[in-house]
Structure 1
Amino acid sequence: MIVSPKSAWIRLLFSRHGSMLEYIAAPLMLNLLLALAAVYIDYQHPRLFNELSPIPFSLIGVALAIFVSFRNNACYARFWEARTLWGTLKNTERDLARFVTTATNLPKDDFQVERAINLLAAFPYALKHQLRGTDPRSNLTRLLEGGLAMDILRRDCRPQYILELLQSQLVQWQRERRYGDVMLAYGLQRLDALSGVLGGCERIRGTLVPYAYDVLLNRTTHVYCALLPFGLVNSLCWATPLVSVFIAYAYLAWHAIATELEEPFGEEPNDLALTAMSVDTERALRQAVDAVELPPRLAPDRRFHLY
């Protein structure tokens, strides 16, 4: 995720960072070459494009803008939901940490309390790696004892197994009469909320925007941008390359941004900073048991990217 501080409008106007140019440079260059070719042909044959009106291009551009906006809204809705789910995860884990440290009447340095807190801290890391398809071994072995970490690593859905271990611990405390049925129901309700986060994230990752939208939008956008200079040259003449490239940049950049937002759990510049959110959640859990050593907060790199 890009976490660059807000800049003055003049700096944003000429900023290359976050402009998506690295993704659309090739089609923009093609559009510029076609626009220069259209200007040259119009100069050599002044009447060739006289009958080519820009009105059809305007109508097609409006329809294309509506379709691009629809896809961008659909992709941003996925990003928004993913962000909401991870916010729910952090709040729910705080609730469970408070429950573990107060309802059980156990000291905060008790082995069972520490184990439950470590399992809670391991959940967001396991979920992050599950969504990104990466290896959670380093995080799990750091937080959990060797045998427990290896037991979790053997599972296909590691976050779900962590929830099973937490539920077993809550049930065990209730059987030991550390709290009653009402408190157990509250704890299980919090675990259900984490299970809902897990299911929601898996749904977002497993069901992308229909592929037909990508094909249609990619095809129509590139064809429209390629033909646009020939529809503008009769009206704009030498200004055709400037206007054509600017319009093409707007459409192509919208398409590139939507492509990144469609999968919010990746490691691209506009994806969610899952690692940083996992660390922040662990810090909150450690503070719930008065831990002295906390994992350091992640800072953005020199390009203001936070992962």
Structure 2
Amino acid sequence: MTSYNPKDWISFIFQLSKGDTFRKLIPMMVIIGIYSGGIGYLEIEYWHLPDSSHVKNISIMHGMLGFVISLLLAYRTNTAYDRWWEGRKLWGGLVNNSRNLAIKLSIILQDEKDRNFFRKVIPTYASVLHKHLNDSETGMQLFDDVDLEIDHHKHKPNQVAKILFQKINDLYVSNKITGDQLIILNTEIQSFTDICGACERIKNTPIPYSYSAFIKKFIFIYVLTLPFGYVFSLGYYVIPVVVFIFYVLASLELIAEEIEDPFGTDANDLPTRKMAENIKKHVEELI
């Protein structure tokens, strides 16, 4: 995750970061600029279209569709951010639950061997979940056209949770903890699996294909038709205007694409590896 000062406007305006959409869109912006210049040349120099030409009225369509495309992009960005924020809340819950489990075990357990076991295994769950969510196959489990040879016995977060509960049950059988304490500790371990399942739901359920494809096609057609009408009033200045409009619209779509999967490796994705390291540090302090 990129660290920044939200009050430093100068760095926002003039600095190009790794996650900046401008770098990614440069090739397409150049192509759109050349295309706009070509349309301007044809209408002004070659076809000599008069101001009374009906082609000029194409700009009416853009005024009508501008409101529609703004609503679509606003909904698209908000939906993607909701997924990012839900992922952040889930990992925040994992941090708190790991601390709570460590605090309770630090009081309940007296045997140093048992304490050392949980000191190592509790942070292991967060670390394994981080790697599990960064695995590309995790995000393709629900795709109909992808055939994955998945061994469900190798679902690593489940295996770590099983080891944790097995140890808790062994402590109960050996009378090191009471039945009430077993129930309390079981609730904490169950929350780990609930968080894992919720993260997997975000990971392997992308925005519906038809919706995402429609927005991209809409932006592309909208931008390609801009030079036809605005060249009458802007002349060759239509080139930077159209390029800028494309940059704004395409950037919103790129940002939404990046944050809708918060468990990846993009610049604005959640720092799950750092969170797992913090869990390890906190658990070792508590137990």
Aligned twin of 2:71: 66
Q: What do residues 11-60 of structure 1 show as CA deviations (whole Å, max 9, x unaligned)? A: 32233224312322222222211222233234312527842221211211
Partner of 2:13: 13
Runs of 4+ with deviation above 6 angstroms: none
- Give distance in 1, aligned partners of 2:226 and 2:110: 72
Q: Give the equivalent residue in structure 1 for 2:32.
A: 31
Which one-letter code corresponds to 2:76 in the other structure? R
Does the aligned pair in 2 maintain the 1:68–1:255 contact within 8 Å? yes
Is the alpha carbon distance of 1:9 and 1:42 closer, same or farther for their aligned partners in structure 2, counting shifts above 3 Å?
farther
Cα pair 2:103 2:286 within 8 Å, conserved: yes
Counting aligned pairs with the same residue, the percent is 23
Q: Distance in 2 between matches of 1:214 and 1:233?
A: 30
Q: What is the alpha-carbon distance in structure 1 between the residues aligned to residue 33 and residue 7 of structure 2?
A: 29
- Mapped to 2, the partners of 1:223 and 1:278 lie a distance apart of 44
* 1:133-282 matches, cutoff 5 A: 133=135, 155-282=153-280
| 8 A Cα contact 1:170 1:184, kept in partner | yes
Between stretches 240-249 and 92-101, larger displacement belongs to 240-249
Aligned to 2:266, what secondary structure does the other structure show?
coil
**How many residue pairs are counted as aligned between the two chains?**
269
Amino acid at match of 2:70: A
Higher relative contact order (CA 8 A, sep 6+): 2
State the partner residue of 1:47.
50
**SS of residue matched to 1:197:** helix
8 Å CA contact retained: 1:208, 1:262 = yes
Shift in Å, 1:246? 1.6
CA deviation after TM superposition for structure 1 residue 62, in Å: 1.6
Q: Which residue of 2 aligns with 1:83?
A: 88
SS in 1 for 2:229: helix
Which runs of 5 or more residues in structure 1 are unaligned?
Answer: 135-152, 290-307
Deviation at 1:71?
Answer: 1.6
RMSD of aligned residue pairs (Cα, Å):
2.1
8 Å Cα contact 1:57-1:231 kept in structure 2: no
CA distance in structure 2 between the partners assigned to 1:4 and 1:37 by the alignment: 41
- Name the stretch that deviates more: 269-278 or 46-55: 46-55
When residues 212 and 262 of structure 1 are mapped into structure 2, their CA distance, relative to the original with a 3 A threshold, is: same
- Distance of aligned partners of 1:211 and 1:42 in 2 relative to their CA distance in 1, 3 Å threshold: same
Q: Distance in 1 between matches of 2:156 and 2:177?
A: 28
| CA displacement at 1:7 relative to structure 2 | 5.5
TM-score, normalization: structure 2? 0.87
Give the deviation of 1:265 after TM superposition.
0.8
| Cα distance change on mapping 1:238 and 1:10 into 2, 3 Å | farther
CA contact (8 A) 1:49 1:234 kept: no
Q: Judge conservation of contact 2:51–2:232 (CA < 8 Å) in 1.
A: no
Q: Which amino acid aligns with 1:128?
A: H
Alpha carbons of structure 1 residues 209 and 89: separation in structure 2 relative to 1, 3 Å: same
Once residues 51 and 180 of structure 2 are traced to their aligned partners in structure 1, the CA distance between those partners, rounded to angstroms, is 82
2:107 matched to 1:105?
no
- TM-score normalised to the size of structure 1? 0.81
Corresponding position of 1:142: none
The range that moved more, 269-278 or 15-24, is: 15-24
Return the offset for 1:179. Answer: 3.0
- 2-structure distance, mates of 1:235, 1:50: 12
Asked if structure 2 preserves the Cα contact closer than 8 Å seen for 1:20 and 1:257, the reply is yes
